[in-house]
């Protein structure tokens, strides 16, 4: 008799703890923001709610990256591109909602298009006034790009550092393209000055709280979906590919198909994270395509624990919290701090925070079991 999927997922202690913590966070933060008076030391300001929502969106990106790197061995240095494409899809929807309330009061064209003397809306913007269409593009555009890229890369058996380099080249090429004004995506300034989402004022306290809760729920869903994938028979093949790709291929598995599917799924997940990120920060521009951002995401996963899912989310939150604090206290030292963190983790915590804790607990349990065996 097969165990129900819900029980199988929650039987993992890390997943159970993660679900419990996220439930507390998703409930406590809105309560402390909406119901606790502003003068109270327990009150959570609205800007903190948005900041935490941004951390959770980053955590979802980290989970998406961990799915391909931690379980399939695909070190992508271009996942920031999928995140940014999802963000741009959301940003295009939000820009279409502005309408005549823009600076130039044009009913259809965004302000930057009017400023650049565009006469009509580009084909790439058609349909983005519809929320459903925009959300479909949030997943489809990154997914299709990942599928096309992976189709050629995996069929050509590009692996290791070479694959990492071309993923980085991909995101750099997209960054250069989106910086161009004639691309129709706002150029260097990107998309900003959003007014509302689904008719709700995007700056309103209630909307900010709703976006935070939604991001938290999607993060939980991303972890559960990833855990389901990695715990399945398909996931076991992914792990085999990570550990011994040539041997897995010799056993008769079409390795490129397994890698292509998980890479596409991960890209769509990253796109959703980008879409949740944009309305909370209020802007999306080509800097999100910068290779440095994708490399930071790799560091988040490494810090939290590669191949743990929960560790990836934890690493994203911790590193970005440190970034917020350090860039405020001593901004010139942030990159040095990030580099030092990566070195320390590589040398002393190669399995990351969660991986190291699990290793310690396993070693302690093994010692306890050994000591319980009676001597002959």
To the nearest 10°, report the CA torsion of 249, 265, 58, 217.
-130
Question: Range of 118's domain?
Answer: 21-290
Confidence class for position 373, pLDDT limits 50, 70, 90: low
Question: Is 326 domain-assigned?
Answer: no
Confidence class for position 329, pLDDT limits 50, 70, 90: confident
**Does residue 336 carry a pLDDT above 80?**
yes
Q: Model confidence over 263-304: pLDDT tens digits?
A: 999 999 999 999 999 999 999 999 999 999 999 999 999 999
What's the rounded mean pLDDT across residues 228-256?
Answer: 95
Question: Is 299 domain-assigned?
Answer: no
d(CA 82, CA 196): 24
Q: What is the pLDDT of residue 65?
A: 98
Question: Is 3 domain-assigned?
Answer: no
Confidence class for position 214, pLDDT limits 50, 70, 90: very high
Confidence class for position 367, pLDDT limits 50, 70, 90: confident
Question: Is 315 domain-assigned?
Answer: no
Please report where in the chains the tokens 């819900």 appear, as a residue.
6
Question: Is 11 domain-assigned?
Answer: no
d(CA 84, CA 173): 13
Q: Which of 102-111, 232-241, 277-286 shows the lowest mean pLDDT across its residues?
A: 102-111
Q: Give how many domains the chain has, as a whole number.
A: 1
Confidence class for position 75, pLDDT limits 50, 70, 90: very high
Question: Is 361 domain-assigned?
Answer: no
Q: What is the pLDDT of residue 376?
A: 52
DSSP letters for 246-275:
HHHHHTT--HHHHHHHHHHHHHHHHHHHHH
| Greater pLDDT, 126 or 376 | 126
Confidence class for position 375, pLDDT limits 50, 70, 90: low
Q: What is the pLDDT of residue 100?
A: 92
Instruction: Please report which residue ranges of 73-130 form alpha helices under DSSP H.
Output: 79-96, 111-115
**Does residue 310 carry a pLDDT above 70?**
yes
Question: Is 314 domain-assigned?
Answer: no
To the nearest 10°, report the CA torsion of 60, 64, 65, 71.
130
Confidence class for position 335, pLDDT limits 50, 70, 90: confident
- Please, are residues 216 and 56 in contact by the beta-carbon 8 Å criterion? yes
Q: Which of 120-134, 212-226, 338-352 shows the lowest mean pLDDT across its residues?
A: 338-352
Q: Model confidence over 16-43: pLDDT tens digits?
A: 999 999 999 999 999 999 999 998 999 9
Q: What is the pLDDT of residue 325?
A: 92
**Does residue 6 carry a pLDDT above 70?**
no
Q: Model confidence over 141-193: pLDDT tens digits?
A: 999 999 999 999 999 999 999 999 999 999 999 999 999 988 999 999 999 99
Q: Model confidence over 38-58: pLDDT tens digits?
A: 989 999 999 999 999 999 999
**Does residue 5 carry a pLDDT above 60?**
no
* Beta-carbon-side half-sphere exposure of residue 216 (alpha carbons within 13 Å): 24
Q: Which of 85-89, 114-118, 270-274 shows the lowest mean pLDDT across its residues?
A: 114-118
Question: Is 271 domain-assigned?
Answer: yes
**Does residue 130 carry a pLDDT above 90?**
yes
């Amino acid at each position: 008799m097969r165990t129900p999927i819900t029980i199988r997922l929650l039987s993992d202690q890390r997943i159970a703890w993660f679900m419990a913590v996220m439930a507390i966070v998703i409930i406590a933060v809105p309560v402390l923001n909406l119901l606790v008076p502003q003068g109270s030391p327990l009150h959570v300001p609205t800007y903190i709610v948005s900041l935490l929502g941004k951390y959770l969106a980053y955590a979802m990106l980290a989970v998406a990256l961990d799915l391909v790197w931690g379980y399939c061995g695909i070190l992508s240095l271009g996942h920031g591109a999928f995140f940014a494409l999802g963000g741009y899809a959301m940003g295009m929807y939000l820009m279409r909602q502005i309408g005549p309330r823009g600076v130039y009061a044009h009913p259809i064209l965004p302000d930057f298009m009017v400023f650049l003397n565009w006469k009509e809306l580009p084909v790439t913007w058609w349909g983005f006034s519809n929320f459903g269409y925009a959300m479909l593009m949030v997943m489809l555009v990154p997914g299709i790009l990942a599928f096309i890229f992976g189709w050629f890369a995996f069929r050509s058996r590009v692996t290791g550092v070479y694959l990492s380099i071309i993923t980085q080249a991909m995101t750099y090429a997209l960054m250069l393209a989106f910086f161009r004004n004639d691309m129709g995506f706002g150029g260097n300034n990107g998309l900003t000055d959003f007014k509302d989402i689904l008719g709700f004022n995007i700056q309103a306290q209630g909307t900010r709280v709703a976006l935070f809760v939604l991001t938290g729920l999607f993060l939980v869903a991303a972890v559960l979906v990833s855990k389901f994938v990695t715990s399945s028979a398909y996931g076991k093949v992914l792990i085999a590919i990570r550990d011994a790709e040539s041997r897995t291929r010799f056993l008769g598995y079409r390795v490129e198909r397994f890698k292509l599917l998980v890479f596409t799924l991960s890209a769509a997940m990253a796109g959703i994270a980008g879409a949740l990120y944009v309305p909370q920060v209020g802007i999306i521009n080509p800097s999100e395509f910068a290779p440095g951002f994708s490399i930071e995401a790799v560091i988040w996963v490494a810090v939290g624990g590669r191949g743990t899912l929960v560790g990836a989310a934890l690493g994203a939150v911790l590193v970005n919290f440190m970034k917020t604090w350090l860039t405020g206290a001593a901004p010139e030292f942030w990159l040095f701090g990030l580099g030092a963190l990566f070195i320390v983790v590589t040398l002393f915590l190669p399995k990351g925070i969660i991986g190291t804790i699990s290793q310690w607990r396993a070693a302690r349990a093994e010692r306890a079991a050994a000591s319980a065996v009676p001597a002959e």
